[in-house]
Amino acid sequence: MKVPGFKAAAVAAELRYRERLDLGLIVADQMVDVAGVFTRNRVQAAPVLWSKEKVAQGRARAVLVNSGQANACTGPEGLEAARRSAQALAGLLNCSPDEILLASTGVIGQPLNLAGIEQALPALMAGLDEKNLPLVAQAMMTTDTKPKIVKDQGRIDGRPFTVIGLAKGAGMICPNMATMLSFILTDAQVKAPLLQLILERAAEKTFNRITVDGDTSTNDCVLALAGGPAGPPLLDSDESPGREDFEKVLTGVMADLARMIVADGEGATKLVRVIVSGAADESQAKAAALTVANSPLVKTAWFGQDANWGRIMGALGRSGADFDPNRVDILFEDVPLVKNGLDAGLEDAAAAVMRRPEFSVKIDLGAGTASAEVLTCDLSLDYVKINADYRS
């Protein structure tokens, strides 16, 4: 799992947890083009504020990521701690602190363990190796049960390129943002402005279409780093030959990561694809899909493998989408559970579909031609257990 031009390392810095990786580093062999999308939450963590500013310059050398403390709601001191961690790393890399991107995840409101980070940096530098990206995926984890890393390859003008994506979930996951932390690395030569455009389009189709619990985080960010010594030809506009292939590969990597985040949603036992069609317009389709996907009553019924379509109707009805209840069809995979707003007498067949770990709920509102899709999971006993106990 490696991509030419990038090295990585992770260590157990014991920032909060004992004896597990919690500090990760990705270093590009040379300056690379960068892009980023960030949380739209009004409360933004110090590393988000820091990285936003640096991404705007379009170039960077490294990403430093920690789990344990989110460094959010930590005021001017939190920003100062972020700055000092970047400074310490820049000293070791012989670059400017402005070329260091930062990301944090963990408990909100606790100060960053700066001393722990500074102490761990030499070991982190010593561990840098192109094979170590999977260790960074591990170091980013909080309540995730699995590291999330995806690789895909393509060709531009006959020359191969690689895209690797890393991500972490698993709670505070809701659309309208760049979900939690994800880093996308490629050796394709993509100029920053185009990379930004592609990243935004891909995020809208992938990370912005998943939800675990409707809670948007203060720390979400997706960073993309592009560049490598032996990369294929330069992409610098939507018209560049190969741009389309590159965007497809990058979007595919992000879609895979998004799916992995939901599948590993806190306590999730089911991965559910909510597909709304027949809506009056796309924003109504998205609102309807999201309202169903975020409804606690719908999600607990999924957990109970109960084909309770009345709760889906209830959620659709409060979503703001315009439709006539008597024209709604609902299918669980290919089982038509509701036909023209009425029970079709197939609950047993639908319940059988729900015993699968992954299934689709297809809703036709009968009010137009627009559609939207959202990936989500159920609301289980373990979700409550995890979040009642997270900090203890």
Q: For residues 124 and 126, what is the distance between their CA atoms, to the nearest angstrom? A: 5
Least separation, in Å, of the C-beta of 332 and a second copy?
Answer: 14
Least separation, in Å, of the C-beta of 41 and a second copy?
Answer: 4
Nearest CB to a second copy, comparing residues 14 and 306 = 306
Contacting positions for a second copy (CB under 8 A): 40-44, 70, 72-75, 107-110, 171-172, 174, 176, 213-218, 294-297, 300-301, 303-304, 306, 308-311, 313-318, 321-323, 325-326, 338, 340-343, 379-381, 383-385, 387-392
Q: Give, in order, the Cα–Cα distances in Å from 191 to each of 76, 107, 175, 228, 262.
A: 33, 35, 27, 12, 31
Looking at the DSSP assignment, which residues form a beta bridge with residue 273?
A: 360, 375
Catalytic residue positions? 179
Nearest CB to a second copy, comparing residues 56 and 381 = 381
Burial of 355 (0-12, 13-18, 19+ CB in 10 A): exposed
Least separation, in Å, of the C-beta of 129 and a second copy?
Answer: 35
Least separation, in Å, of the C-beta of 188 and a second copy?
Answer: 34
Residue 251 has which token pair?
């979007």
Nearest CB to a second copy, comparing residues 6 and 207 = 207
User: Helices 282-294 and 296-303, interaxial angle, to 10°?
Assistant: 60
CB-facing half-sphere around the CA of 330: CA atoms within 13 A: 28
Q: For residues 328 and 53, what is the distance between their CA atoms, to the nearest angstrom? A: 47
Nearest CB to a second copy, comparing residues 173 and 202 = 173
Among the listed residues 27, 22, 25, 26, the one whose alpha carbon sits nearest the alpha carbon of residue 116: 22
Nearest CB to a second copy, comparing residues 313 and 352 = 313
Nearest CB to a second copy, comparing residues 173 and 258 = 173
SS (H, E, C) 297-321: HHHHHHHCCCCCHHHHHHHHHCCCC
Least separation, in Å, of the C-beta of 326 and a second copy?
Answer: 6
Least separation, in Å, of the C-beta of 382 and a second copy?
Answer: 9
Do 3 and 225 touch, CB atoms closer than 8 A? no
DSSP secondary structure letter of residue 215:
P
